[in-house]
Amino acid sequence: MALVTGGGKNIGREAALTFARGGATVVVAGPGRADLEETVRLIEAVGGRGSAVVADVTRAADAAAMVAAAVERHGGLHIAFNNAGIFGTPAPVAEQDEDVWSSVLAVNTTGVWLSMKYEIAHMRAHGGGAIVNSASNIGFHTRRPGLGAYAASKAAVSVLTRTAAREYIGEGVRINAVSPGGTDTPMSFRPGETVGERDARVRAVVPAGRVAETREIAAAVAWLASDEAAFVVGHDLVVDGGASA
């Protein structure tokens, strides 16, 4: 059984579908019921089983209830992809709005921590499991100005992942992260940018010459969560076409 936060669209939806195609029952969680229910419909369309939980991962009660619902409905929790995240409004560090800073850190970092807190508790008591957290290649470099809040939040996820991985691998809970680069989602566009303008900008800075497809990020997540990656612990897998090489 796999749990995907931020499972209502984009990378989260694609990861949920990838898990479903691999035979997992999938619970998708997030704030938007309509998006989550559409993901469940798509899971069922590929022959899988899924359900939705409306949850705000910045709230401990919601994170706990999300994990409890997954376990109660489907009998356990074996895989978790903590993917919920927001970009925020870009601004230089000294000009960043305090509310934007707080909301970005709350969703991207505290949300991952709270999700792990309750996922790990269940997995420790039931024979282990695999967790993948969503970080970002922006946590490794600062080539784009104005992303201090987002970069800080994702760098924190990477460090938190390594810390938790060492703490819980001895109890069978294997924790890693994935760090996508620019991916074909709304986050890859700058304000007012067309697809052609985005693609031209990306070609100039990404050695692979394009953004990632969501399926490519989902495939990396699925591998990290699989038994084939059983000896991969505390790793942050960068999938960015060479942008941070």
Q: DSSP characters for the chain?
A: -EEEETTTSHHHHHHHHHHHHTT--EEEEES-HHHHHHHHHHHHHTT--EEEEE--TTSHHHHHHHHHHHHHHHS---EEEE--------B-GGG--HHHHHHHHIIIIIHHHHHHHHHHHHHHHTT-EEEEEE--GGGT---STTBHHHHHHHHHHHHHHHHHHHHHGGGTEEEEEEEE-SBSSGGGPPTT--HHHHHHHHHHH-TTSSPBPHHHHHHHHHHHHSGGGTT--S-EEEESTTTT-
- pLDDT at res. 159: 98
Provide the pLDDT confidence category of residue 143 given band limits of 50, 70 and 90: confident
Choice among 9, 115, 118, 150 that is catalytic: 150
Q: Taking the model in full, what pTM does it have?
A: 0.96
Q: How far apart are CA 111 and CA 116, in angstroms?
A: 9
The per-residue pLDDT for 121 is: 98
Return the biggest CA–CA distance within the chain: 50
Q: Which residues 6+ apart lie within 8 Å of 61 measured at CB?
A: none
The pLDDT of residue 145: 85
Average pLDDT over residues 20-36: 97
* Structural domain spans, the chain: 2-239
**Residue 144: predicted pLDDT:** 77
pLDDT, average across residues 27-46:
97
Decide if pLDDT at 64 tops 80: yes
Q: Which residue in the list 115, 134, 136, 188 is annotated as catalytic?
A: 136
pLDDT score for 160:
98
Marked catalytic residue, from 118, 134, 153, 154: 154
Q: What is the mean pLDDT of residues 97-120?
A: 98
Examine the residue annotation and report whether 118 is marked as an active-site residue of this protein. no
Tell me if residue 150 is catalytic. yes
Number of residues that this document lists for the chain: 245
Return the axis-axis angle of helices 111-125 and 60-74, rounded to nearest 10°.
40
- pLDDT surpassing 90 at residue 230: yes
pLDDT for residue 226 is more than 80: yes
Q: What per-residue confidence (pLDDT) applies to 57?
A: 98
- What confidence score (pLDDT) does residue 228 get? 98
Q: Does the pLDDT value for residue 5 go beyond 80?
A: yes
23 CB-near residues (< 8 Å, 6+ apart): 48
Average pLDDT on 105-114 reads 98
Write down the pLDDT at residue 97: 97
Q: How confident is the model at residue 214 (pLDDT cuts 50, 70, 90)?
A: very high
Cα–Cα distance list, 73 to 21, 25, 144, 171 (Å): 20, 10, 43, 24
Residue 217 has pLDDT above 80, yes or no: yes
Q: What architecture is domain 2-239?
A: 3-Layer(aba) Sandwich (3.40)
Q: Is 90 exceeded by the pLDDT of residue 142? A: no
**% of the chain with per-residue pLDDT over 90:** 89
The confidence score (pLDDT) of residue 4 equals 98
Q: Is 136 a catalytic residue?
A: yes
Amino acid letter for position 189: F
Q: How many CB atoms lie within 10 A of CB 233?
A: 15
Contact 103, 88 (CB under 8 A): yes
Output the CA–CA distances (angstroms, integers) from residue 102 to 59, 86, 108, 188, in the order listed. Answer: 14, 11, 10, 22
